[in-house]
Amino acid sequence: MALDKHGIAKRIAKELKDGFYVNLGIGIPTLVANYIPEDMEVTLQSENGLLGIGPFPEPDEVDPDLINAGKQTITAMPGAAFFDSSASFAMIRGGHIDLTVLGAFEVSEKGDIASWKIPGKLVKGMGGAMDLVAAAKNIIVATTHADKDGKSKLLKQCTLPLTGVNCVKRIITDLAVVDVTEEGFRLMERAPGVGIEEIRAATEGTLIVEGEIPEMDI
Amino acid sequence: MNKVVEDANEAIRGITDNMTIMFGGFGLCGIPENCIKALAATNIRGLTCISNNAGVDDFGLGVLLAKHQMKKMMASYVGENKEFERQLLSGELEVELIPQGTLAERIRAGGAGIPAFYVPAGYGTEVQGDKEVREFSGKMHLMEMGITADFAIVKAKYGDTRGNLIYNKTANNFNQAMASAGRITIAEVEELVPYGTLDPNQIHTPGIYVQRIFQGTNYEKRIEFRMTRS
């Protein structure tokens, strides 16, 4: 059965390592914070100038000077650090973030990503997404495999305006874990109960399926 | 040296039509509320506004937008503002969307005397345009330019009478870099103290960057998305 957004977040959390500094984009990626293993120390970076994002505040803790990149009120963990925007993106661009997780409208088999603009419908701006994908050493896209009309989001070539080129390494969807390789998309894992044919049908780009494809362990 | 002015109205003296103004803030966090309100009460028009976001329809920079005082906006994200979309589509407003990190660095570089620099963000996207492209260590970069403004308007928590500023938590965001990049920098602060009060180790913006400072009043500090644990 296809995973729900929490299932996708749970599988992404398996990519975390102790001591990682991580940037989570808005949408499904933020849910990954709920599945960080108890015994693992992971520090979340907020592009607007915070290392050490904490949980949402209690009502009497709400502070208008303390928000995340999605402009939601948050808290800061013990051991957190505040800094300005130029320092925040210096941290990102300088390759210091261990893992970046973000959503997408489309990903191509060459690792291009389109996530910020739908011409005529959504032209709000790219925010920090282009900086994140251009600089990150480890990018995971969290997305449904197809859109709500059943159209594949894993394409030969993106049709929408690009956020970055040649930058996505791994895509974790409601159906599968897919890596981007020289030869195209490579199927690495299936969601529990999901068959190869269902994944093939939902993948418009080149999909390499070699050997036994294990189920996700979540 | 007297940098202290009475209020926002006095602080914005000398801002005229068609100037380029930087506004600190991320969303509604750390925005110079008093100065924005003061500008909205004038007839100044044709402004080029540089800010990460455009406020919401009835607060922050959205207010300048609603009064048609903006000719051009340079920002990284303008999502929370419907009037913005309308003016953009009608052609009333020119918009330059800039990746947030590039925007922050352009401003920092402008204040730091760096005319141009290379970054990877935007390569292969519409942001590339006809910018100069160069490869470094096998990776493609775009040449971006430093930017300065006629006025930079910043908001801090603490400021002293010499213009030294301390920001609070995520209300720093673009304020720190912008303070260095205005020909004239105006600082509105929640608490104005005599110089010598602030710990020199804690200063984010040394007073050299600030030309005018005043004690702000009646901060609304509106929250866009109030999320709580319960």
Res. A124 pLDDT band, cuts 50 70 90: confident
Mean pLDDT of chain A: 96
**Contact between B104 and A89 using a beta-carbon 8 Å cutoff:** yes
List the structure tokens of A174.
């409601």
Contact, A88 vs A106, CB < 8 A?
Answer: no
Q: DSSP secondary-structure letter at A28?
A: H
Dmax (CA) of chain B: 54
Per-residue pLDDT, averaged over A95-124, amounts to 94
Dmax (CA) of chain A: 55
- Cα separation, B177 vs A129, in Å, equals 20
Q: What are phi and psi of A70, to 5 degrees?
A: -90, 10
Task: Give the distance from CA A136 to its chain's centroid.
Answer: 12
Position of tokens 């009475």?
B6
pLDDT tens per residue, range A3-43 = 999 999 999 999 999 999 999 998 899 999 999 999 999 99
pLDDT for the residue B83: 85
pLDDT tens per residue, range B18-41 = 999 999 999 999 999 999 999 999
Instruction: Determine whether A106 is an active site residue.
Output: no
Long-range CB pairs of A122-126 (<8 Å, 24+ gap) are: A123/B85, A123/B88, A124/B77, A124/B78, A124/B79, A124/B85, A125/B75, A125/B76, A125/B77, A125/B78, A125/B79, A125/B97, A126/A163, A126/B76, A126/B77, A126/B97, A126/B99, A126/B100, A126/B127
Contact, B21 vs B107, CB < 8 A?
Answer: no
How many C-beta atoms surround the C-beta of residue A197 within 10 A? 8
**Is A34 in CB contact (< 8 Å) with chain B?**
no
pLDDT tens per residue, range A142-200 = 999 999 999 999 999 999 999 999 999 999 999 999 999 999 999 999 999 999 999 99
pTM value?
Answer: 0.97
Within 8 A by CB and 6+ apart from A56, the residues are A72, A73, A74, A75, B227, B228, B229
Per-residue pLDDT of chain B (230 residues; tens, 9 = 90+): 799 999 999 999 999 999 999 999 999 999 999 999 999 999 999 999 999 999 999 999 999 999 999 999 999 998 777 788 788 878 899 999 999 999 999 999 999 999 999 999 999 999 999 999 999 999 999 999 999 999 999 999 999 999 999 999 999 999 999 999 999 999 999 999 999 999 999 999 999 999 999 999 999 999 999 999 97
Q: What angle do CA B156, B158, B161 make, to 5 degrees?
A: 105
Q: Alpha carbon of B121 to those of A2, A26, A40, B139: distances in Å? A: 34, 19, 31, 11
pLDDT for the residue A123: 83
- Cα separation, A94 vs B230, in Å, equals 37
Strands (E), chain A: 21-24, 43-46, 50-53, 76-82, 99-102, 106-108, 113-114, 139-142, 154-155, 170-172, 176-181, 184-190, 207-208
Res. A83 pLDDT band, cuts 50 70 90: very high
Alpha-carbon Rg for chain A, nearest whole angstrom, is 17
Altogether, the residues listed in chain B come to a count of 230
Strand-strand pairing, B133-136 and B139-145: antiparallel
Residue of A185, A189, A188 lying closest to A204 (CA atoms): A185
pLDDT for the residue A204: 98
Looking at chain A from residue 74 to 133, which residues have their Cβ under 8 Å from any Cβ of chain B? 74, 76, 82-86, 88-90, 92-93, 112, 123-131
**Is B70 in CB contact (< 8 Å) with chain A?**
no
List the structure tokens of B121.
């963000």
Q: What percent of chain A has pLDDT over 90?
A: 94
Per-residue pLDDT, averaged over A114-136, amounts to 91
Choose from A31, A84, A163, A167 for mutation: most chain B CBs within 10 A: A84
Catalytic residue among A15, A47, A183, A215: A47
pLDDT for the residue B85: 78
- Cα separation, A137 vs A131, in Å, equals 12
Contact, A205 vs A174, CB < 8 A?
Answer: no
How many angstroms separate the CA of residue B165 from the nearest CA in chain A? 13
How many angstroms separate the CA of residue A132 from the nearest CA in chain B? 8
Looking at chain B from residue 143 to 202, which residues have their Cβ under 8 Å from any Cβ of chain A? 157, 167-177
For the residues of B100-158, what is the DSSP string, one character each? HHHHHHHHHHHHTT--EEEE-TTTTSTTTTT--EEEETTEEEEEEE---EEEEEEEEEE
- Cα separation, A150 vs A201, in Å, equals 10
From edge to edge, which strands make up the β-sheet containing A43-46? A76-82, A50-53, A43-46, A21-24, A99-102, A139-142, A170-172, A176-181, A184-190, A207-208
